[in-house]
């Protein structure tokens, strides 16, 4: 196995994020996506934690399966919500026994489970728990616009700096303008933090996804929504997808040129947009054009 901290120390990383399937149909989609993306040779892949006890097992099974049946380097997401400290420790020990050396420690969103425990209030405590158990490269989340629960941006940056003092790297929430990422990195530098911060990339490939982006914590800027609306009027859904991929590619080029330590793609368990961006960036020039997801 390979720790992500070691990969980042060696040079830029390019990584993909998936969510564990809830049904056989979702499993088929993910299986196809994994086959299509493996030729890109990602540095690592991450598997989200969709919430609740059932997701705990799905995430574990998916990362363990990747570990033992593929050449992919997996990272498991883990959240504080809906778990006691003991349960979280048991999950971490189980991951280590399965050969998983990379975790992303998150506070997590509230669940619908009645009486769900939450003994760890913040991701920082989960980082400390994973560090105490040992053997992990530990990542944390970063929010270029600030976490929605933070009272202000300065407080958010202070908390992120505290997390990164104990963790190895961060991955950002998706964003759409280079200044958002560069401002985050500059704010951390002012606080004496120079740990790698991977920019999270999610291309906007349909008009219906624009309001969803805001619900997920990062609103599409007005200028971008206008460009996508123009593409829609001129050429419909296909033109929107093409323009969305172009804009995401431009964003990737800008942050890489500014010194970002790589790129982390939120795939939504699909492959087409990621493959198109890879091709445009010259990261996989011989990549087949097969697949339409």
The residues annotated with a catalytic role in the active site are 17
CA dist., res. 166 & res. 151, Å (int): 23
Whether 14 and 283 have beta carbons less than 8 Å apart is answered as yes
Residues 6+ apart with CB under 8 A from 223: none
Q: What are the CB-based long-range contacts (under 8 Å, 24+) for 62-70?
A: 62/18, 62/20, 62/21, 63/95, 63/98, 63/100, 64/98, 64/99, 64/100, 67/1, 67/98, 67/99, 67/100, 68/99, 70/34, 70/38
Q: Strands 262-266 and 197-201, how do they pair?
A: parallel
């Amino acid at each position: 196995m390979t720790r992500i901290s070691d990969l980042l120390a060696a040079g830029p990383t390019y990584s993909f994020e998936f969510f564990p399937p809830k049904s056989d149909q979702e499993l088929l989609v993910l299986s196809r996506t994994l086959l299509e993306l493996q030729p890109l040779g990602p540095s690592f892949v991450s598997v989200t934690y969709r919430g609740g006890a059932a997701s705990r097992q799905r995430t574990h099974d998916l990362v363990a399966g990747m570990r033992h049946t593929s050449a992919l380097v997996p990272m498991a997401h883990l959240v504080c919500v809906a778990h006691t400290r003991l349960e979280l420790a048991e999950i971490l020990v189980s991951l280590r026994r399965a050969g998983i050396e990379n975790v992303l420690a998150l506070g997590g969103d509230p669940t619908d489970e009645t009486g769900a425990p939450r003994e760890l209030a913040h991701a920082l405590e989960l980082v400390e728990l994973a560090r105490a158990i040992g053997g992990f490269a530990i990542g944390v989340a970063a929010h270029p616009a600030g976490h929605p629960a933070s009272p202000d941006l300065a407080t958010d940056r202070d908390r992120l700096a505290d997390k990164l003092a104990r963790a190895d790297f961060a991955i950002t929430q998706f964003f759409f303008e280079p200044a958002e990422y560069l401002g985050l990195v500059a704010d951390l530098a002012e606080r004496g933090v120079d740990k790698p911060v991977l920019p999270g990339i999610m291309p906007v490939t349909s008009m219906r996804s624009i309001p969803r982006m805001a619900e997920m914590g990062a609103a599409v800027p007005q200028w971008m929504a206008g460009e996508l609306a123009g593409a829609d009027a001129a050429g419909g859904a296909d033109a929107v997808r093409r323009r969305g991929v172009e804009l995401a590619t431009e964003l990737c080029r800008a942050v890489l040129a500014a010194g970002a330590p790589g790129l982390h793609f939120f795939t939504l368990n699909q492959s087409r947009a990621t493959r198109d961006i890879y091709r445009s960036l010259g990261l996989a020039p011989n990549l087949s054009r097969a697949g339409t997801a």
